[in-house]
């Protein structure tokens, strides 16, 4: 995970402790993060990306369909494909197949994509 991939509001994991934080400030040497109890400053080397899981996608508002998890946003449909182990996207009007979004395997990537497409933060329900 590269620091230039981050935005304020992204979720990151403190390495080796499986402890999740929200990014609240970014600077050249590290970032200020918070969890439910406190704020702290950590260096970039101390954190890692949080992998997307089915459980987390459901918390983000994805719903179960026959074989997949889906989330509809305006004319776009996001879905989790177990065979690709990441999130893919298609337009509701696109009958020609799926547009695979490569590399959306982590929470911060999905948060950033969602924000870029909607102008809103992806929040846990």
Closest CA to 23 of 102, 115, 85: 115
β-strand partners of 14? 19, 47
CA distances 93 to 75, 80, 87, 98, Å, are: 7, 19, 19, 11
Q: In this model, does residue 42 exceed pLDDT 80?
A: yes
Distance CA 48, CA 18 (A): 10
Residue 25: per-residue pLDDT: 94
pLDDT at 86: 74
Residue of higher predicted confidence among 116 and 103: 116
Pairing of strands 63-64, 69-73: antiparallel
pLDDT tens column, 54-109 = 888 889 998 888 778 888 877 777 778 776 677 777 665 555 555 666 668 899 99
- Lowest mean pLDDT, pick from 31-45, 46-60, 101-115: 101-115
Is the pTM here over 0.95, yes or no?
A: no
């Amino acid at each position: 995970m590269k620091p230039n991939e981050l935005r304020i509001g992204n979720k990151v994991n403190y390495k080796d402790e499986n402890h999740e934080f929200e990014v609240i400030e970014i600077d050249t040497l590290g970032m200020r993060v918070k969890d439910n109890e406190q704020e702290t400053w950590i260096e970039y080397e101390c954190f890692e990306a949080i992998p997307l899981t089915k459980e987390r996608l459901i918390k983000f508002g994805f719903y179960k369909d026959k074989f997949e998890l889906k989330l509809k946003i305006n004319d776009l449909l996001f879905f989790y494909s177990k065979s690709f182990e990441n999130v893919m996207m298609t337009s509701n009007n696109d009958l020609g197949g799926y547009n695979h979004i490569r590399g959306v395997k982590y929470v911060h990537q999905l948060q950033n994509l969602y924000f870029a497409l909607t102008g809103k933060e992806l929040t846990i329900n």
